[in-house]
């Protein structure tokens, strides 16, 4: 059979697959691990070579060559131990990682010689090691570097472990010029057979050695290592899009792996292992195996449609690798568009951006690869979505026609209707609906048994006419003219804000299709302000609800002092108007959102005036949140504030009419 293609460039392949085997000399394990089990760092660091003066200028190629025999010796030694022996001798020295079980599992996998499982272990070991080193960094540092290479090059870790020790880690993990094991695997460049297992063994021993050094560092300082809490996916309900993957679908997917051009032949073991992991309920393993392969498959699409086959390989050290960032971008350069979005279609691109990139989304690859997720508690729901989407892409790039499985056909149809859920525009829509439901619940608030004349909260005490009705009615009339024709019709009277009509109009506006992919910067600027307005509106609503419920209980128990009773009555004279204005503002937010793409095309001066208008509304809602705070209870001031903003909103919208 022809050899499977590689994604490693010639120089990277030489570094990873050959240099560590160039020297055939043997290395005595007793010089590396002393009789009491202590890792002799001097034996390891003496294998480092430097290009010129200074401990930072590591000659990675020569260092890998000299470390090769040492890694071989470590691998043979670990292979000679049972899991029980390894845990007994070294278990206490891997506790500092906060994931001792993971390193024990990696040791166990080493002895089974399943290459794809060893690669999986390396991915988990490197991400966990990065997280643990970040925790160590915070013993003396303030803000942990985001990138592993910056963390390994930090002065803080050099102070704790010593610069030569950090240089050893940089040889294995920290630079595109080094072995760079973490990035080669997490970005889907390395096939299972291309990563020597002895490097996994060496990382296990280095982790033990770091634990021993950390114990020495702690003893005089009496410091304790605090582990940062894991992140949790708080938006699992929002990602629930595809139905559960059934056994029948998994069987069909196994065949797709063999037939789809989305999968390189050398990478098939990763795909097969991911399907097996899902069957066995190892959902973190499933996703860790899938994400790099999604990147590899999309890199195939990227290099094909953009006619740049060389970018399928790892780049040289002076050039960035082709990763998700480049694959999902709008343009290859200022002059040339990326053809991937056109090829995949907007629903597929929306899914990818939602799960990988948007700040409010799960950003599952980032969090997993940096060790920020508790692998033992990885949710099935997340794995189900990633796997379903992966199967859709396998089907999409079938090389030959085959009988389509009905469940997979449903997945494909479902994927075609995906709309972004985590783009700032989508988040704003969700915020508006949540806030609207909160404001709508005001009608259910308990009302104290006050006199009838005190209940007429919507009427002016002198005239008996609705307060501020002309301003609200005028704004609603202006809104009506800008309302899309396919939404609810009549919203030109104040009464529409008191019925279900306003909520129906709001939901209809929020559900209108709107393109979110590659939104222009001015749109995102406006959306940021609109989201802040919505947050403040929701805060006002929450404060009114909590204050009302508390005061009602105190009223009924006769626990309110005279001043508090009067303040309670003033609140009920005010909240109805505030309710109307909040409903009006939520309607405005949603309407402005649908017009933002048009407004951002105007000249800079007009757009800045528009932003100024939005910030006036934001300032009003911030002040209103302050006045309605239970500690303030400035209800009369709230009414005056409200009158002022209504005039400004009306003036701006009248100006827009001309």
C-alpha atoms less than 13 angstroms from C-alpha of 255 in its C-beta half-sphere? 11
| Residue ranges of E strands in 360-415 | none
What does the pLDDT read at residue 495?
Answer: 52
Give me the phi and psi of 260, to 5 degrees please: -85, 140
Here the tokens at position 518 are: 């590659």
If one compares 103 and 513, the residue with the highest pLDDT of the two is: 103
pLDDT at 455 over 50: no
Q: For residues 314-341, b (16+ Cβ closer than 10 Å) or e, as one string? A: bbeeeeebbbbebbbeeebeeeeebebb
d(CA 78, CA 66): 20
Q: Which residue has the tokens 């595809």?
A: 242
Contact 236, 379 (CB under 8 A): yes
Other CB atoms within 10 A of residue 44 CB: 24
Instruction: Choose among 275, 294, 437, 416: nearest CA to 355.
Output: 294
* pLDDT confidence band for 492 (50 / 70 / 90): very low
Give the helix, strand, coil percentages of the chain, each rounded to 5: 65, 0, 30
Contact 502, 496 (CB under 8 A): yes
What pLDDT, in 10s, does the model give residues 97-122?
Answer: 999 999 999 999 998 878 999 999 99
**Interior angle at CA 47, CA 44 and CA 49, nearest 5:** 135
Kindly give, in sequence order, each residue whose CB lies less than 8 Å from that of residue 514, ignoring residues fewer than 6 positions away. 425, 593, 594, 597
pLDDT at 635 over 80: yes
In angstroms, how far apart are the furthest CA atoms of the chain? 102
What does the pLDDT read at residue 448?
Answer: 66
* pLDDT confidence band for 604 (50 / 70 / 90): confident
Helix (H) or strand (E) holding 80, with range, is helix 60-80
Choice among 202-211, 215-224, 423-432, 531-540 with the minimum mean pLDDT: 215-224
Give me the phi and psi of 255, to 5 degrees please: -75, -35
Convert 191-234 into a string of H (helix), E (strand) and C (coil).
CHHHCCHHHHHHHHHHHHHHHHHHHHHHHHHCCCCCCCCCECCC
Contact 331, 299 (CB under 8 A): no
What pLDDT, in 10s, does the model give residues 168-183?
Answer: 999 999 888 899 999 9
Kindly give, in sequence order, each residue whose CB lies less than 8 Å from that of residue 640, ignoring residues fewer than 6 positions away. none
**How much is the mean pLDDT over the chain?**
88
The reported pTM is: 0.90
């Amino acid at each position: 059979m022809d050899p499977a293609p590689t994604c490693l460039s010639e120089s990277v392949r030489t570094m990873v697959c050959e240099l560590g085997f160039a020297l055939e000399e043997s290395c005595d394990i007793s010089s590396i691990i002393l009789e009491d089990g202590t890792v002799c760092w001097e034996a390891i660091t003496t294998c480092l070579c430097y290009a010129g003066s200074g401990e930072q200028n590591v000659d990675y190629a020569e260092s890998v060559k000299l470390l090769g025999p040492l890694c071989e010796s470590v691998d043979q030694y670990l292979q000679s131990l049972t899991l029980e022996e390894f845990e007994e001798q070294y278990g206490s020295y891997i506790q500092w990682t906060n994931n001792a079980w993971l390193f024990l599992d990696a040791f166990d996998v080493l002895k089974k010689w399943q290459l794809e499982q060893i690669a999986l272990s390396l991915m988990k070991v490197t991400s966990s090691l990065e997280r643990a080193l970040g925790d160590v960094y915070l013993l003396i540092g303030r803000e942990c570097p985001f990138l592993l290479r910056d963390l390994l090059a930090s002065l803080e870790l050099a102070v704790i472990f010593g610069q030569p020790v950090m240089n050893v880690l940089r040889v294995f993990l920290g630079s595109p010029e080094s072995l760079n094991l973490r990035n080669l695997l997490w970005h889907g460049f390395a096939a299972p057979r291309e990563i020597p297992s002895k490097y996994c063994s060496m990382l296990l021993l280095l982790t033990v050695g770091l634990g021993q050094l950390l114990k020495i560092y702690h003893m005089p300082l009496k410091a304790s290592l605090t582990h940062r809490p894991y992140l949790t996916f708080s938006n699992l309900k929002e990602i629930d899009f595809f139905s559960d993957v059934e056994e029948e679908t998994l069987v069909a997917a196994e065949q797709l792996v063999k037939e789809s051009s989305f999968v390189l032949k050398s990478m098939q073991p990763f795909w097969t292992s991911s399907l097996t992991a899902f069957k066995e309920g190892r959902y973190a393993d499933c996703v860790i195996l899938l994400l790099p392969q999604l990147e590899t498959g999309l890199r195939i699409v990227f290099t094909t449609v953009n006619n740049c086959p060389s970018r399928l390989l790892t780049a040289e050290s002076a050039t960035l690798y082709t990763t998700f960032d480049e694959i999902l971008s709008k343009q290859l350069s200022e002059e040339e568009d990326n053809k991937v979005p056109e090829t995949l279609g907007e629903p597929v691109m929306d899914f990818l951006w939602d799960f990988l990139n948007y700040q409010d989304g799960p950003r599952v690859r980032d969090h997993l690869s940096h060790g920020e997720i508790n692998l033992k508690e990885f949710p099935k729901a997340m794995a189900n979505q990633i796997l379903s989407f992966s199967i859709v892409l396998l089907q999409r790039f079938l090389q030959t026609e085959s009988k389509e499985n009905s469940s997979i056909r449903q997945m494909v149809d479902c994927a075609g209707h995906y709309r972004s859920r985590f783009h700032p525009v989508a988040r704003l829509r969700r915020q508006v609906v949540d806030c609207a439901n909160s404001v709508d619940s005001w009608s259910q608030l308990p009302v104290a048994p006050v006199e009838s004349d005190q209940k007429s909260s919507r009427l002016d005490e002198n005239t008996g006419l609705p307060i501020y009705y002309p301003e609200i009615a005028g704004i609603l009339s202006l809104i009506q003219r800008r309302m899309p024709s396919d939404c609810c019709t009549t919203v030109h009277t104040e009464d529409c804000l008191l019925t279900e009509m306003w909520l129906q109009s709001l939901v209809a506006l929020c559900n209108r299709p709107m393109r979110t992919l590659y939104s222009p910067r001015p749109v995102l600027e406006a959306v940021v302000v609109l989201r802040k307005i919505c947050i403040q509106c929701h805060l006002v609503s929450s404060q009114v609800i909590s204050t009302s419920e508390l005061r009602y209980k105190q009223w009924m128990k006769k626990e309110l002092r005279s001043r508090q009773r009067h303040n309670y009555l003033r609140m009920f004279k005010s909240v109805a108007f505030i309710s109307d204005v909040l409903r009006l503002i939520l309607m405005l937010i949603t309407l402005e959102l649908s017009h933002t793409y048009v407004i951002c095309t105007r000249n800079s001066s007009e757009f800045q005036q528009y932003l100024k208008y939005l910030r006036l509304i934001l300032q009003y809602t911030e002040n209103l949140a302050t006045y309605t705070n239970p500690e303030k209870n400035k209800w009369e001031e709230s009414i005056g504030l409200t009158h002022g903003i209504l005039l400004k909103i009306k003036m701006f919208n009248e100006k827009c009419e001309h």
